[in-house]
Chain A
Amino acid sequence: MKGISAPIKRYDFDEKVEGRARYCADLHPEGMLYARTLRSDRPRAKILGITIPPLPDGYFIVDRDDIPGKNSVPIVYDDEPFLAREVVNYVGEPILLVVGPDKQTILNLLTAIRVDYEDLEPILTIEDALNCRENFIFQDRPHFVEYQYTKGDISRAIARAGCCIEDVFQTGYQEHVALETQSMLAVWEEGRIRVSGSMQCPYYLKDALVQALDWPEDRVRVVQLPTGGGFGGKEDYPSIVGVHAALAAVKSGRPVQLVLERGEDIRCTTKRHPAHIHIKSYLDHENHIIARDVEVLIDAGAYAGLSSVVLQRLIFSVCGVYRVDNLRVHGRAMATNNVVSGAFRGFGGPQAFFAIEMHMENIAQKLGVDSLEWKKAYFLRRGDTSSTGGLFQSEIVLPRIIEQIEEISGYSQKRRELSGRQGWRGIGCSVFFHGGGFTGKGEKDILKTRVRLVKRSASEIEIRVANTEIGQGAATTLRKIVARALEIPVEHVAYIYPDTDLCPDSGPTIASRTIMIIGKLLYDCALEMKEKGQEETLEVTRGYTYPAGLSWDNARFIGNAYAEYSWGANVVEVEVNPLTLEINVLGVWAVYDIGTPIDERIVKGQIDGGLVQGLGYAGMELLQSRRGKLQQGSLADYIIPTFLDFPPIVSRLVENPYENGPFGARGLGEITLVGAAPALALAVQNAVGQPVRQLPVSPEYLMELICDE
């Protein structure tokens, strides 16, 4: 297994470093037109009328009347329109497009368009939504979804409890800031539409195009281009951008480019869900945790989008890496007239682990015990059941992870040295997991995953999947898996940027599933291909099989929420500046069990990148909504980490191969972000001696905690 981990040159390296990689905005097919979106500037309003000025030759509008099929994005509840209906529900909601050959003219036309609104009472916060009794945004209720699941017998447990310790936590928005903004190019060619661009999920976009255009599937083609980052922001939002471009291309018969400006991208596309999490832990008279009761509220924004799935992951993860026998978790995704919240690396996990890790620390403090020692007593082990009662069948190596992180960070010793010292230094340790793949039976029931391996000759093998290279190295790691399984040089294995004409639907590039699930299917294809080695050309296609021994009841949320988990621990050491309350991170350490690393260098890149993005979420990425509008609308005001903000990260892997993963690999892409915020928040809390209960931990928030008034 060691051999595969040795790094190789990335498949996409040359073109990227030489500046030859062609991203969507780099392409200019002949006759190309530009499109720009007119967006709502009200959080909630009825559109009474739209006055369009006279349009010069070659310029036209695309509005909802140009949608031949259904004006709804095919995601879960199908409630979000591609272009606004009679009522707009968030600032930034797309209303129409102006399309033409010259950008300045388009701008002038946009400014001259008048939209007459009748303002409606907006629902602007989770509190507003909770208090809502009428004029709901979604159907007949203030939330998109409401879930509850239980384990054991919580009332019984509460009855014999000696005490209850509770905490309320709040987390804020986060914006992905992929360096490349949302971009699409739609080309009408010989009766078909081809949409190319920046995306994570070509088939989501294809489904959206088919829904909007009402065309047969064979007239719709989606091609992924080199994509400058995704992080979940390009999971479903590209469906809107791609359909917009396509509508314009169909209407004009010309290629149409739609590239969002940075300000548009920050303000109007999907964001990480803000969350309110209220945790109550019940302890018996020996101070053992015997029950937990959790209330979760997330701000889903104006349309349902992926909120139901984010909420599920959040509520399944919110008890953390700890055993608890009696449990009740209740969660709601509230509908508000804010920007739509959606997928972002971690997908509910970062919010959940912030809450549970801070909460466990709080309990330890109240009991006067060392928090890590105390947490260890509750660590999940093989044979335990999860919060949803699913049996953990693989070995869980948390003790080894903790041993490693102590070795590299010296956490416990430093903690002892710093405690009792009146100073501004602190150290914190978070422990966490991330479930790989779709929640529950989603891999089987929702997706119709098929992967294909094509043999053109003994030295020409092609991977045909819909999973996208978005920087995370999929184009390289999937090739390594196939090459090693076939025992041929990796140069003989090709991977193409997914083209729906050529590649079957192997599902979205999300949920840390690409290596663990798609990689495994390709591995199986490769083994089959090896067995049939005498055949000169061959195509092997495989679908997903739900692992034997797992079960999931989607109605009651009982069973294995995830097929397999990755595990980790992060330690962060900080020094808070007593004058400015700015947080100086002195050290970051990380240990993960991601099974076998398919490429150690790519894994290191994901660890560094995920942690820095998570530390940004924790400490500096303030994004506030006032009257439905995001206040930080440019990169001057929405602050992401730079070269100077964090020290080099020291990381280690504990190799605990997963028997159903390719060469033992588990999911990696998201776990590297999930543990960062609690580690930083715990360090700051220990440094300033005040309980940290919200993210981001800004200097302004610390001032509120520290000052007496």
Chain B
Amino acid sequence: MVKTYRPNRLSEALRIREQENVIVLAGGTDLMVRNRSWSGTLPAFQQDVLFIGHLEELKRIKKEGGLIVLGASCTLAQIMHDWRVPEYIKLPLAQMASPAIRNVATIGGNICNASPAGDTLPMLYALNASLQLNTGQGSRIVNIQDFITGPGRTGLQDDEILTEIRIPIADFNRQYYKKAGLRKANAISKVSFFAVADCRHDRIREVRIALGAVAPTPVRSREGEAILAGIETKARLDAFPDLKACYEKLLSPIDDVRSTKKYRHKTALLILEDFLGQGLEGG
């Protein structure tokens, strides 16, 4: 029978992580579905389980200098209700799953699950989020784009626990999020698009764009963002052909039970165009 560990402190959790062959469970809303077995039987985990969802050290939200720091075990609901967290970070969270799931699902779990349709990921990519990964000996910081290596795959080592998500906050005065799902609530994304921008004095000073569910991992392009950086707001539509060409070659959506390659591809580009037009309006 599978063993479980529920340590009282992070240090103890790290020791267990290092010494035992465990899978880390924070909220469990993905893992409990993935490993589900027959009603009334234990979920069929293949490894021992380390509970970390309750660790106070991992549930803090801090504002440090120009950073929002989210503990990995913060639930989506907790993040949404925290006044220190900028609205644009909450945008994708509000459309995720259902209230009951948001009360339990954690940001750390969503990241480590690394689903191509993971809804927090485009936002984290666009905002240059970095992750703190701890072991019993120390820690390292990794940019989220380097951490997620493929669909469902991350660079998490067997002795590491993701402890913090560090998001630099900046003066973005435009925020834009669109998710095409199967229905209005509680739906896995067919395509998602997150963007923020800093528009001032009739110019687009900076823009960040990331797309989800259109490739094995979220799509972000520095080249694409550079096309828009510094241009006059009123001239922005002229940039669309170049912008489109840039992102188009990064899209590799698939046909699956929820949608088609064609739909995802075209819709992603339509949303990109809408962002350029409507999303960057004004200022």
Contact = CB atoms under 8 A, between A and B. Distances in A.
Judge A-B direct contact (beta carbons within 8 Å): yes
Interface in A600-625: 620, 624
Interface residues on B, range: 20 to 34
Contacts, number: 69
Contact of B183 (A259, A645, A703): A645
Interface stretch (A59-67, A319-327, A456-464, A574-582): A574-582
A645 B38 contact: no
A36 B39 CA distance: 11
Given A581-B267, A636-B188, A645-B184, A103 B274 contact: no
A632 interface: yes
Interface string B24-60: 0000000000000111111000000000000000000
Contact of A642 (B186, B191, B267, B274): B186
A620 B270 CA distance: 22
Given A36-B38, A259-B39, A580-B178, A642 B184 contact: yes
B258 to A, nearest CB: 6
A582 B188 CA distance: 14
Contact of A639 (B187, B266, B267): B187
Contacts of B2: none
B185 A642 contact: yes
Closest 7 CB pairs between A and B?
A580-B180, A644-B184, A644-B185, A639-B182, A642-B185, A700-B263, A631-B257
Contacts of B40: 34, 103
Given A103-B40, A645-B183, 5 more contacts: A103-B41, A579-B180, A579-B271, A643-B185, A699-B267
A186 B187 CA distance: 38
A104 B182 contact: no
Given A104-B41, A104-B42, A637 B257 contact: yes
B157 interface: no
A179 interface: no
Contacts of A259: 39
Contact of B41 (A107, A581, A641): A107
Interface in A249-264: 259, 261
Contact of B266 (A34, A36, A641, A703): A703
B6 interface: no
A707 interface: yes
Nearest to A259: B39
Given A103-B38, A107-B38, A261-B39, A700 B260 contact: yes
Contacts of B183: 620, 639, 641-642, 644-645
A637 B258 contact: yes
Chain A CB within 10 Å, residue with most, of B38, B178, B191, B259: B38
Contacts of B37: 104, 107
A578 B258 CA distance: 19
Nearest to B273: A579
B273 to A, nearest CB: 8
Interface residues on A, range: 20 to 34
Interface string B177-209: 010101111111001000000000000000000
7 contacts: A103-B40, A579-B274, A580-B271, A581-B263, A642-B185, A644-B185, A703-B267
Contacts of B270: 578-580
Contacts of B187: 639
A257 B234 CA distance: 69
Chain B CB within 10 Å, residue with most, of A103, A642, A700, A707: A700
A500 B196 CA distance: 66
The majority secondary structure among interface residues of chain B is loop
Interface in A36-61: 36
B262 interface: yes
Chain B CB within 10 Å, residue with most, of A104, A259, A641: A104
A34 B37 CA distance: 15
Given A103-B38, A579-B271, A582-B180, A707 B266 contact: yes
Contacts of A620: 182-183
A642 B184 CA distance: 8
Contacts of A34: 40
Contact of B259 (A104, A579, A641, A700): A700
A248 to B, nearest CB: 16
Contact of B267 (A579, A624, A632): A579
Interface in A579-605: 579-582
B263 A632 contact: no
Interface in A96-126: 103-104, 106-107
Nearest to A700: B263
B274 to A, nearest CB: 5
B262 A703 contact: yes
A104 B270 CA distance: 49
A377 B150 CA distance: 62
Contacts of A104: 37-38, 41-42
Contacts of A103: 38-41
Interface in B232-283: 257-260, 262-263, 266-267, 270-271, 274
A707 B37 CA distance: 43
Interface string A561-582: 0000000000000000011111
A643 B186 CA distance: 10
A579 B193 CA distance: 12
Contacts of B191: 580
A449 to B, nearest CB: 38
Interface string A682-709: 0000000000000000011001000100
B219 to A, nearest CB: 17
Contacts of B188: 636
Interface in B159-186: 178, 180, 182-186
Nearest to A703: B263
Nearest to A106: B38
A236 B193 CA distance: 46
B58 to A, nearest CB: 27
A366 to B, nearest CB: 30
Contacts of B39: 103, 259, 261
Contacts of A578: 270
Interface string A628-649: 0001100011010111110000
Contacts of B266: 703, 707
B274 A261 contact: no
Contacts of B185: 642-645
A594 to B, nearest CB: 29
B244 to A, nearest CB: 14
Contacts of A700: 259-260, 262-263
A580 B258 contact: no
A385 B267 CA distance: 50
Contacts of B263: 581, 699-700, 703
Contacts of A639: 182-183, 187
Contacts of A581: 263, 267
Nearest to A642: B185
Interface in A227-279: 259, 261
A107 B39 CA distance: 11
A580 B38 contact: no
Nearest to B255: A700
A656 B42 CA distance: 57
Nearest to B278: A579
A707 B40 CA distance: 49
